[in-house]
Amino acid sequence: MFIAWDSGAPGVIVAVVGICPHLGHVSGVEYVIETRDLAAGYGGGLILDGVNMSIEKNCITCIIGGSGCGKSTLLKAIVGQLQPVRGTVTLLGHDLYSVTEDERADILARAGLMFQYGALLGSLTLVENLEIPIKAHTRLRPEIIRAMIEMKLGLVYLSHALHRLPGELSGGMRKRAGLARAIVLDPDVVMCDEPTAGLDPITAAEIDELILKLRRVLGMTVIVVTHELSSIRHIADRIVMLQGGKLHFHGTLDEALASTDPALTAFFGRQNRNADRPGRSLLELVPAAVRSAATSAPGAPS
């Protein structure tokens, strides 16, 4: 057993690694996730077709692309929720779909998932929500379970909310609680589905800093599905771009930003285009015919 400390907050323990020996951390694996000729979809239709991808260890990789390109489908295939039609998914050195269900469950216990909307059980407190994965995968004593939970909630600045229900939390706090649950077993890799979607810029920046902290303090590999440009520019080491169900780009953030590829320039150019566009009032966005009808209606203010 060894203890991980947060260098940015002396005296703060953030992880007790080794208390779950059967979930031992990955070693000797260069890529935590690999897909080969991956094809997956729903109802006989393919969303992904022939995706070959390798996710490097100890990096933050952002998966990007337009709506319907297959980002969520790829995430589901990686976390064991969607059986591929063709190809393989290797997670932490194991072919995820060629092992038994029990073996797959043990492998997936080493991968945390932060859901887009938190997916916390509304009738349970934060402590009770975080107890679920620990009790499902370990036989630890109650005092150790409590210590693990307090450490992780402390890491995301929710020490004051141990006994609150999800409905008593703000949107940003629920996101942080979801992140705490994703890392409660000290996984080797954490996958985050739109972690900053729907948040104000300040709260989104706080989530970004927490994701960077996972890599810095706990040495975790992080995969983030997102379309938020500010987050991508701030946290990403590497970029995976999907387009039309296929891998379109895989490289560093700097390579993506410097690329002249039309899809990449269109994606990363959104912020600049919006910045150059003058703001318009809500009234200006209403079609002229609708405005004319509204102003000519009986009783309309002149």
Q: What is the pLDDT of residues 224-233, one digit of tens each?
A: 999 899 999 9
Q: Considering only residues 40 and 137, tell me which one the structure prediction assigns the higher pLDDT.
A: 40
- First-to-last alpha carbon distance for the chain, in angstroms, is 76
Q: What is the pLDDT of residues 166-180, one digit of tens each?
A: 999 998 899 999 999
CA distance 39 to 51: 7
**pLDDT value at position 98?**
94
pLDDT-based confidence at residue 63 (cuts at 50, 70, 90): very high
In a domain, residue 302? The reply is no
Query: Worst-scoring range by mean pLDDT, 22-36, 231-245, 277-291?
Result: 277-291
Q: Considering only residues 38 and 8, tell me which one the structure prediction assigns the higher pLDDT.
A: 38
Q: What is the pLDDT of residues 108-147, one digit of tens each?
A: 999 999 987 667 898 999 999 999 999 988 899 999 999 9
> Tokens 């260069």 correspond to what residue?
30
CA distance 234 to 116: 19
Q: Evaluate if residue 157 carries a pLDDT over 50.
A: yes
Whole-structure pTM value: 0.79
**pLDDT value at position 272?**
52
Q: Considering only residues 115 and 255, tell me which one the structure prediction assigns the higher pLDDT.
A: 255
CA distance 280 to 108: 48
In a domain, residue 135? The reply is yes
Tokens standing for residue 107: 């492998």
pLDDT-based confidence at residue 189 (cuts at 50, 70, 90): very high
Mean pLDDT across the stretch 263-287? 62
CA distance 14 to 3: 8
Which domain, by its residues, includes 27? 2-280
Q: Considering only residues 291 and 142, tell me which one the structure prediction assigns the higher pLDDT.
A: 142
Q: Evaluate if residue 282 carries a pLDDT over 70.
A: no
In a domain, residue 288? The reply is no
**pLDDT value at position 2?**
36
Q: Considering only residues 283 and 292, tell me which one the structure prediction assigns the higher pLDDT.
A: 292
Strand ranges inside 76-218, DSSP E: 86-91, 94-95, 111-114, 189-193
In a domain, residue 294? The reply is no
Instruction: Return the closest-CA partner of residue 192 out of 78, 277, 101, 291.
Output: 78
Would the CA dihedral through 81, 193, 239, 214 be positive or negative?
negative
Task: Identify whether the C-beta of residue 210 lies closer than 8 Å to the C-beta of residue 247.
Answer: no
Q: Considering only residues 118 and 86, tell me which one the structure prediction assigns the higher pLDDT.
A: 86
Tokens standing for residue 291: 């405005």
Task: Identify whether the C-beta of residue 150 lies closer than 8 Å to the C-beta of residue 227.
Answer: no
How many structural domains comprise the chain? 1
DSSP code at position 156: T
Provide the percentage of residues in the chain whose pLDDT is more than 70.
79
In a domain, residue 250? The reply is yes
**pLDDT value at position 84?**
96
In a domain, residue 247? The reply is yes
**pLDDT value at position 136?**
87
Q: What is the CATH number of the domain that holds 31?
A: 3.40.50.300
In a domain, residue 300? The reply is no
Please state the length of the chain: 302
In a domain, residue 299? The reply is no
Q: Considering only residues 118 and 290, tell me which one the structure prediction assigns the higher pLDDT.
A: 118
